[in-house]
């Protein structure tokens, strides 16, 4: 019990260290190293028998005989990643893929000592930010790798392409003789076949420099990056790194199972904060504000004692499928209502006044241009839909 308590305390302290590094926005490499330490401590801790047991479940079509094709869910994850990034409209992107088995096999045939695999892996992963010469100097000067071994690594990690590169490496006289690398290359070839069927192979590049520092990856790894485009006027090029990443980690969940059962896993994550940075910068350049609501029109009043009329009109708009709202004050000032629209990014204001009620019209105001027009109440829904791009009613 005392030993378990000591391990639990170490897990707690390491968890606090990881959270602290994230808050301090430490380097990704340092955070990944500390996360790996935390996972190892949790694995040593094992399950708490005093807590409710849970059952690990594998996919229904998975069996020991090997009928489960792991590349199908990998290809599906990449398809999902591409769909998400395309829908965000943040620019052209490229998804780089590799396989940890290919990396490990490559290091082995190049002569990297087993004890240096992970540290050399972290150096290779910097090739998207540093030149090959800088990476080589780090491996040789800081990590003690023999120069000739580094040169052999360089011959591989500077290559990138599509399925043709996979086929080329399958014929490589050295790499093809390594069991791990051969398994990884065969799976990647199959993956590219599925990606072509999904219609996204043009968005995917096989990149031998992609390493992904976390130790728990066991197979395919991937990372999405934005393609550099010329900066627009007033826009600084953003070095945000990857905007999405993921991979296969078949051994991770089993670390927490007392029986050590293998549970195949694959997943991805989206870099929400990095994407926000891109969107915010572009909005600043365009001098646009972020809309904080989907509201299309605010129902406003020009004079006092018109709350009931505002409620009637907002109800009519809701019934017509218009996203409308009103301020909850009984007698809000018109200026305050207009300012609210500007701050929230609401494009239109439907203004009711005593004269409008007499004339049977609604004053429709564009928040950006401040142009106002009188619209017959019966035509208001169609006019709002026309201005907001909604389908018009054909009666």
Q: Give pLDDT, residue 395.
A: 44
The pLDDT tens digits of the residues spanning 132-185 come to 999 999 999 999 999 999 999 999 999 999 999 999 999 999 999 999 999 999
Whether pLDDT at 68 is above 80: no
At 265, give phi and psi (nearest 5°): -140, 145
The two structure tokens encoding residue 120: 């050399």
What would be the CATH architecture of the domain defined by 1-45? Answer: Orthogonal Bundle (1.10)
Mean pLDDT of 378-392: 86
Class of residue 66 by CB neighbours under 10 A (exposed 0-12, middle 13-18, buried 19+): exposed
For tokens 């969107």, what's the residue? 279
Residue 63, marked binder: yes
Residue 217, marked binder: yes
Gap between the Cα atoms of 252 and 268, Å rounded: 15
Mean pLDDT of 214-240: 70
Residue 216, marked binder: yes
- Could you tell me which residue, 126 or 286, shows the higher pLDDT? 126
Whether pLDDT at 299 is above 70: yes
Whether pLDDT at 238 is above 60: no
Gap between the Cα atoms of 46 and 191, Å rounded: 34
Gap between the Cα atoms of 135 and 263, Å rounded: 35
The CATH classification of domain 61-286, taken from the options 3.40.640.10, 3.90.1750.10, 3.30.390.30, 3.30.930.10: 3.30.930.10
At 223, give phi and psi (nearest 5°): -155, 130
The pLDDT tens digits of the residues spanning 81-124 come to 999 999 888 888 999 999 999 999 999 999 999 888 888 988 99
Gap between the Cα atoms of 326 and 314, Å rounded: 7
Name the pTM for this structure. 0.62
322-326: long-range contacts, CB 8 A cutoff, minimum separation 24: 322/296, 322/297, 322/381, 322/384, 322/385, 322/390, 323/294, 323/295, 323/296, 323/297, 324/295, 324/296, 324/297, 324/298, 324/299, 324/350, 325/293, 325/295, 325/298, 325/299, 326/298, 326/299, 326/300
Domain ranges of the chain: 1-45, 61-286, 297-388
Q: Which fold has domain 297-388?
A: Rossmann fold (3.40.50)
Whether pLDDT at 195 is above 70: yes
Class of residue 262 by CB neighbours under 10 A (exposed 0-12, middle 13-18, buried 19+): middle
Whether pLDDT at 214 is above 80: no
Gap between the Cα atoms of 279 and 89, Å rounded: 9
Going by the DSSP 8-state scheme, the letter that residue 270 receives in this structure is E
CB neighbours of 229 closer than 8 A, spacing ≥ 6? Answer: 91, 92
In the chain, where does DSSP find H-type helix?
2-23, 28-45, 71-88, 100-110, 117-124, 132-137, 147-157, 163-170, 179-198, 272-285, 307-319, 334-344, 354-359, 380-388
**Helices 147-157, 117-124: inter-axial angle, 10-degree rounding:** 50
**Pick from 278, 371, 217: nearest CA to 91:** 278
């Amino acid at each position: 019990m005392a030993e378990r308590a000591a391990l639990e305390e170490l897990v707690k302290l390491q968890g606090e260290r990881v959270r602290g590094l994230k808050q301090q926005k430490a380097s990704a490499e340092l955070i990944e190293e500390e996360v790996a330490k935390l996972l190892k401590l949790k694995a040593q801790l094992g399950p708490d028998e005093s807590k409710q047991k849970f059952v690990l479940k594998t996919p229904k079509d998975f069996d020991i005989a090997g009928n489960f094709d792991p590349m199908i869910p990998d290809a599906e994850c990449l398809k999902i990643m591409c769909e998400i990034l395309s829908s965000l409209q943040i620019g052209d992107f490229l998804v780089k893929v590799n396989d940890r088995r290919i990396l490990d096999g490559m290091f082995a045939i190049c002569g990297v000592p087993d004890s240096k695999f992970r540290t050399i892996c972290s150096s290779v992963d910097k090739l998207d930010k540093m030149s090959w010469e800088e990476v080589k100097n780090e491996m040789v000067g800081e990590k003690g790798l023999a120069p000739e071994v580094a040169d052999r690594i360089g011959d591989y990690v500077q290559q990138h392409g599509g399925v043709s590169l996979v086929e080329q490496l399958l014929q490589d006289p050295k790499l093809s003789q390594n069991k791990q690398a051969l398994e990884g290359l065969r799976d990647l070839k199959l993956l590219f076949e599925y990606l072509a069927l999904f219609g996204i192979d043009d968005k995917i590049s096989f990149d031998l420099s992609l390493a992904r520092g976390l130790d728990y990856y066991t197979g395919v790894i991937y990372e999405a990056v934005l393609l550099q485009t010329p900066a627009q006027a007033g826009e600084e090029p953003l070095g945000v790194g990857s905007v999405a990443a993921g991979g296969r980690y078949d051994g991770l969940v089993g670390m927490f199972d007392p029986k050590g059962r293998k549970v195949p896993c694959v997943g991805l994550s989206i870099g929400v904060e990095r994407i926000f940075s891109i969107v915010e910068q572009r909005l600043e350049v365009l001098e646009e504000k972020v809309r904080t609501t989907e509201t299309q029109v605010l129902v406003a009043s020009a004079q006092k004692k018109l709350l009931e009329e505002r409620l009637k009109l907002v109800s009519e708009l809701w019934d017509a499928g218009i996203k409308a709202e009103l301020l909850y004050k009984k007698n809000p000032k018109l200026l305050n209502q207009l300012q609210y629209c500007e701050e929230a990014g609401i494009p239109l204001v439907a203004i009711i006044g005593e004269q409008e009620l007499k004339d049977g019209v609604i004053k429709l105001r564009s928040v950006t241009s401040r142009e106002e027009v009188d619209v017959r109440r019966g035509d208001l829904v169609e006019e709002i839909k026309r201005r907001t791009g909604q389908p018009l009613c054909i009666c």
